[in-house]
Amino acid sequence: MKGIIEAFKNLFYRMAHIGLWTNKSDVALYVGTIVFVIMFVINTLGFILISWFANIPVTFVLKNMNDLQIALFWFLLFHTLGMTFFITMLFVNLYQRLVFEPVRDIKTELAGIMRSELSEYYVSGKISQPFRNPDSAITWEDQVKFYVDAALVEKYMDELTGCFNRKYFSYKLTSYMELQKLSGLTSYTQVKKYGTDSYAIFMIDIDHFKSVNDDYGHAAGDFVLRDVGKLLREICGDNGVVVRNGGEEFVIVYCERYPYDFAMLAEKINQGFRDKIKVPSSATMRGRDVTCSIGFVKYPFYNGADSLLTLEQHVDLADMAMYASKQTGRDRWHELVAQRELTDKVDMVLYTSDIDYGIKRGFYQLRHKDDVR
C-alpha cells in the first residue's frame, strides 16, 4: 500500500513539474493521464446532464441503461479515448519539435566540442550549481544551462590544473554563496539541524614548491600542479569546488551535512599528498615527495553574524590558518575557530591579515591536529 501511495505521489509530482519530462514517453504518460481525467470528468457530467434532461434515471451500470443511455455511454467513452489520444499526440509532437530535438542537438554539438576527461565534470552542472546532488532530478532547462556553461568553460577554467580560476571565484562562486545566505540556507535565524548544509573554506599551499621549479625545472612543477588539481577534484567530488588561487595555492569551498568535522577533509588532503603527489625523477635527480599546508574556516565564520564577512574575507582567514601550518612545520592543517563576535571597534584589515591581532583580542583561536580527540 505504501509503495502505491509513493507511486501516485511521484506521478502527481512529475505532472506538476513539466521541466522533468525528458522524453516522448514522459509527455505521453503525463499529458495522457491529465487529458484522460479531464475528458472523463467532462463527459461523465455530460452523461448525467443529458440523462437528467431526458428524465431518465442516472445509472452507470450498463445493464440498467436504456437504449439512449447505452448509445450515449459508448459515444462518450470513445470520445474520451479519442480526444485523449489526439491531444496527447499533439503535445508529444510539440514537445519533440520545440524542446527535445533542440536540447538533443545542443548536447550533441557540445559533446563533440568538449572531448576531454573534464567534460563530465563541467557538464554535470558544476559551474551553475556547484553543490548540486548528482542524484537529484534535472530539468531540461537545467540541461541547456549546464551545456551552455560548459561551452564557455574556458572563461572559468585553469587550463593547467583543470580546476576553476579566480574569475569563477569572483563572478560565479561568490554570488552563489551569497544566494545561499539570502535563501536562508546559512541564515543565523535558523538553528543548525542534522542533515542541513554546512560549508567550509580551505586554503591549500604546496610546500616548498619554488624549490621544485628551481631544482627540477618548470616542466616538473607543471606536472605536480596537474596532479594536485586532479587529486583535489577527486577528493572533493560533488561536495566541493576547487579553485586555483594563483601559483601553488588552491581554494576549496566544501559542503557537507551537519554535523561534520571538516578536519576530516583536511586530513584526507594531507594524506592524499603524501600518497600520490611526487616530483618525477629526472636524468640527474631522483624524484621526491610533495606535501601541503592547509588552513580552513567554517562558512559563515560566525553563526550569528554571517553577513559581516564576505566570502573573500573568509578566504583571508583561511589563509592565515594556512600560514600557521607553514610556520609550525608544514604538511599539516590548522583551523581558525570563531570565539567572540565582532565589535564596532575592530580593525577589519588587521582582523583578516594579522592572526595575533584576532587571537589576543579573543575573536578567534587556532585548532590543529593535536586538538582533535
Confidence check: pLDDT of 11 > 80: no
Confidence check: pLDDT of 269 > 50: yes
What's the CA dihedral at 87, 89, 94, 95 to 10 degrees? 110
Give the E-state strand segments of the chain in sequence order. 197-206, 240-246, 249-257, 278-279, 288-289, 292-299, 333-338, 364-368
196 and 328: one domain? yes
135 and 30: one domain? no
Average pLDDT, the chain: 83
The sign of the CA dihedral 255, 259, 261, 264 is: negative
26 and 120: one domain? no
pTM as predicted:
0.70
149 and 162: one domain? no
Q: What percent of the chain has pLDDT over 70?
A: 80
DSSP 296-331: EEEESSSTT-GGGS-HHHHHHHHHHHHHHHHHTTSS
Confidence check: pLDDT of 361 > 70: yes
Q: What is the mean pLDDT of residues 286-305?
A: 87
55 and 85: one domain? yes
252 and 228: one domain? yes
Confidence check: pLDDT of 35 > 50: yes
**Which has more confidence, 288 or 2?**
288
pLDDT tens per residue, range 171-210 = 888 888 877 666 554 444 445 666 678 899 999 999 999 9
DSSP three-state, residue 137: coil
The sign of the CA dihedral 52, 58, 60, 65 is: negative
Compute the distance between CA of residue 177 and CA of residue 42 in angstroms, rounded to an integer: 49
24 and 136: one domain? no
Task: Say which range, 276-285, 289-298, 320-329, has the weakest mean pLDDT.
Answer: 276-285
136 and 242: one domain? no
pLDDT of residue 25: 80
Confidence check: pLDDT of 341 > 60: yes
pLDDT tens per residue, range 214-252 = 988 999 999 999 999 999 999 998 889 999 998 899 999
54 is written with which cell numbers? 431526458
Q: Which domain holds residue 90?
A: 2-113
What's the CA dihedral at 170, 126, 309, 178 to 10 degrees? 90
pLDDT of residue 228: 96
**Total number of domains constituting the chain:** 3
pLDDT of residue 325: 95
pLDDT tens per residue, range 99-124 = 778 777 776 766 665 555 555 566 56
134 and 191: one domain? no
54 and 165: one domain? no
Q: What is the mean pLDDT of residues 341-353?
A: 87
Checking phi first, is residue 246 left (phi over 0); if not, alpha (psi -120 to 50) or beta?
left
Show Cβ contacts of residue 166 under 8 Å, excluding neighbours closer than 6 positions. Answer: 243, 244, 245, 246
> Which of 103, 138, 153 is the last residue before a domain boundary?
153
Write phi, then psi, for 189 (nearest 5 degrees). Answer: -75, -10
Q: What is the mean pLDDT of residues 159-178?
A: 87
For the chain, the farthest-separated pair of C-alpha atoms sits apart, in whole angstroms, at: 106
